[in-house]
Amino acid sequence: MQHTDIINKIKNTSVLVVGDIMLDRFIYGAAERISPEGPVPVLKVGKETEMLGGAGNVLSNLAGLEAGCTIAAVIGADENGNHVREIIRAMGYDDGALVDDAARPTTVKSRFIAQNQQLLRTDSEDTSEISKDVQNALMKAIEKALPQAGALVLSDYNKGVLTPGFIKDIITKAKAAGVPVLVDPKRDDFSIYAGADFVTPNRKELSQAVRGMPVGSDDEVEAAATALIKQSGIEAVIATRSEDGMSVIQNGQGAVHIKTRAREVFDVSGAGDTVIAVLAAALAAGADIKDAAALANKAGGIVVGKLGTAAIRADELARDTDHGNQAQVMSWNDAQAKVEEWKAQGQRIGFTNGCFDILHYGHVNYLNEAAGKCDKLVVGLNSDASVKILKGPQRPINDENARAAVIGALGAIDLVVLFGADKAGQDNTPCDLIGHLRPDVFFKGGDYTIDQLPEAKIVQAYGGSVDIMPMYEGHSTTAIIEKSKSADAA
């Protein structure tokens, strides 16, 4: 099955996720001095963000894939538990399979970060085993969701929810319902997952599970995984191997080793959640395990290029799979998230805009120069309606989809966003888009002064800069069109 077919079919699937849900809290700020009370940095807090972690990050990845999902987990009867419910509902999912436990707090992991460096992490949690009453309530939620599930994920962070006996009962019920079980393990004893269809240990976890067997080479990983299958009663091992990709070892079948494309790695947090989410969704969509693993490997490679607990999105996975280096066309909100992600990696974001109706020499050179002055270049592209207002009813020559595809194919461009007025008289400038994205530098080509540009006021108000660049004389879309008309008349 082609990867694009899998990605499209995933949108009609449903995955049941069971396990340890957490609230990941990130506190960002500046650490510019040492505390007089002790040899520790003082963090001046700038902003705080919250997102789901653990089993919740599996849900976030499934949401990014636009798959259906039910998450069955335990939270505290507290304010943080309410936050977890609010986030799930905001994603468009039902929180009815969550079980409140008044005897334990919602698990919260707080990370304090300055200049992209984590200074400290604090964990608020209770890892004792859940009570029998809570377990029974959770099992009822699982049984209710199983008939609609195309796959079941056990997201085991060893926080007291997935006890060995409970895991056995869940696997038994899933197998009886014909639902494949995938396990993201966090223990050395994999025998508690006996009967599971797939487990997804990383290299370290695989080695620890087989008493330190080496796992450096393909052959070593295959030997270790084969030993694990024999001793644990698991059907197959999908070993994630960082820069060496992924290996699929099934009982009685040859190993498949999937290599990964070299990427710049910023953060591996949550990459395992991404892998198992894509695996489960792809299997639920009818893919075989080899195709599912290849797709999951690509997804894992994408998210390690992001900072923090990050989730995959269907559109970026499709782009990575099918379109090489083609710059993506994004909505305003998705583009804002991407710009913030790039900024968190310390990259300088540039922005320019235009109609780019017929791409010519002047455009290409201008865009290449702009790209050379920033790390990522975003292009605001006038919509078809916007171009008609600016250029007249005969324009554009090429519609917005064609223009976006052509300009996105340039190596200088990293992202394309459509903007513009629908009717004459409305604001037809990129001011609102610039205020939404907040790029570090706004590039404008032509003979302007900064006080003539309404965009400049927006950029400077939030601390950005404006760079007015010379245009290449003698090259314009209008001139090309007029020349074409003259040639036709002759």
Domain count, the chain: 2
**322, 357, 391: which is the final residue of a domain?**
322
List C-alpha distances in Å: 273 to 58, 62, 187, 303, 305: 5, 10, 16, 10, 15
CA dist 24 and 387 (Å) reads: 44
* Residue 175, φ and ψ in degrees, nearest 5: -65, -40
Q: Are 140 and 167 contained in the same domain?
A: yes
Q: In this model, does residue 151 exceed pLDDT 90?
A: yes
Q: Are 306 and 348 contained in the same domain?
A: no
**Residue 322: band (very low, low, confident or very high) from pLDDT cuts 50, 70, 90:** very low
Q: Are 246 and 378 contained in the same domain?
A: no
The CATH code of the domain that includes 346 is: 3.40.50.620
Question: Of 255, 300, 204, which Cα lies nearest the Cα of 247?
Answer: 255
Q: Are 316 and 335 contained in the same domain?
A: no
Supply the range of the domain harboring residue 425.
328-489
Q: Are 411 and 299 contained in the same domain?
A: no
List C-alpha distances in Å: 368 to 86, 308, 348, 373: 44, 31, 15, 9
Q: Are 381 and 259 contained in the same domain?
A: no
Q: Are 248 and 360 contained in the same domain?
A: no
CA dist 255 and 275 (Å) reads: 18
Q: Are 188 and 292 contained in the same domain?
A: yes
The CATH code of the domain that includes 234 is: 3.40.1190.20
List C-alpha distances in Å: 303 to 246, 273, 407, 432, 472: 15, 10, 25, 29, 39
Q: Are 231 and 111 contained in the same domain?
A: yes
Model confidence over 185-216: pLDDT tens digits? 988 899 999 999 999 999 999 999 999 999 99
Model confidence over 14-30: pLDDT tens digits? 999 999 999 999 899 99
Instruction: Indicate whether this model's pTM tops 0.85.
Output: no
Active site residues: 273
Q: Are 95 and 148 contained in the same domain?
A: yes
Q: Is 299 exposed, middle or buried (0-12, 13-18, 19+ CB in 10 A)?
A: buried
Token pair in block for residue 467: 């760079």
Token pair in block for residue 251: 């009982």
Q: Are 221 and 355 contained in the same domain?
A: no
Token pair 């002055």: residue: 373
The lowest-confidence range among 66-80, 248-262, 403-417 is 248-262
More confident residue, 308 or 19: 19
**268, 298, 322: which is the final residue of a domain?**
322
Token pair in block for residue 244: 């060496």
Q: Are 307 and 357 contained in the same domain?
A: no
**300, 322, 344: which is the final residue of a domain?**
322
